[in-house]
């Protein structure tokens, strides 16, 4: 079954310290099932890698290799379709960042589960009627 891919899981595919049993399992699924992401996914991935660089837990050359690998693993990207006001309401309703609300909105729109390691987003899935992939 297809799923929405959060950047927190994708980073685990290319950064050993961020990998979990869950993220490795999702990677195997991604090899045989379609996966989707909001257009901001690229920004979220780069932001996570840059954060690791700034904390000096990842070298710049390793981040460049990670970006190259993830660039080749293309999810089906979706532009944000939800109006700003509705996205703000969704973020407020579940006390999420706008970024997490965007992932949730896509999962709701596509009626798909979400693959995520992100604590705040994961914690609201059941209340939102979205399954964890």
Q: Per the domain annotation, does 123 fall within a domain? A: yes
Is residue 50 a part of any domain in this protein?
yes
pLDDT for position 8 = 93
Structural domain span for residue 43: 3-128
For residue 86, being part of any structural domain is answered with yes
Instruction: Provide the CATH number for the domain around residue 12.
Output: 3.40.50.1010
Quote the percentage of the chain above a pLDDT of 90: 92
β-sheet bridge partners, residue 3:
35
Tell me, yes or no, whether 133 lies in a domain.
Answer: no
| Integer Cα distance of 66 and 97 in angstroms | 25
Number of domains in the chain: 1
Per-residue pLDDT tens for 60-84? 999 999 999 998 888 999 998 789 9
Residue 118 placed within a domain: yes
Residue 114, domain member (yes or no): yes
Q: Is residue 96 one of the residues assigned to a domain?
A: yes
Q: Is this prediction's pTM over 0.85?
A: yes
DSSP structure string for 54-97: HTTSS-HHHHHHHHHHHHHS--EEE---S-HHHHHHHHHHHT--
Looking at the domain assignment, is residue 102 inside a domain?
A: yes
């Amino acid at each position: 079954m297809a799923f929405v891919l959060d950047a927190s899981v994708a980073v685990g595919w290319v950064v050993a310290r961020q990998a979990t049993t869950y993220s490795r399992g999702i990677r195997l699924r991604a090899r045989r099932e379609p996966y989707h992401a909001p257009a901001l996914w690229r920004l979220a991935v780069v932001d996570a890698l840059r954060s690791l660089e700034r904390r000096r837990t990842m070298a710049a050359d390793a981040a460049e290799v990670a970006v190259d690998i993830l660039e080749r693993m293309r999810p089906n990207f979706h532009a944000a379709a939800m109006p700003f006001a509705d996205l703000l309401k969704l973020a407020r309703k579940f006390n999420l960042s706008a970024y997490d609300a965007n992932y949730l909105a896509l999962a709701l729109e596509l009626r798909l589960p979400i693959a995520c390691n992100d604590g705040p987003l994961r914690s609201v899935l059941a209340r939102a009627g979205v399954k964890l992939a």
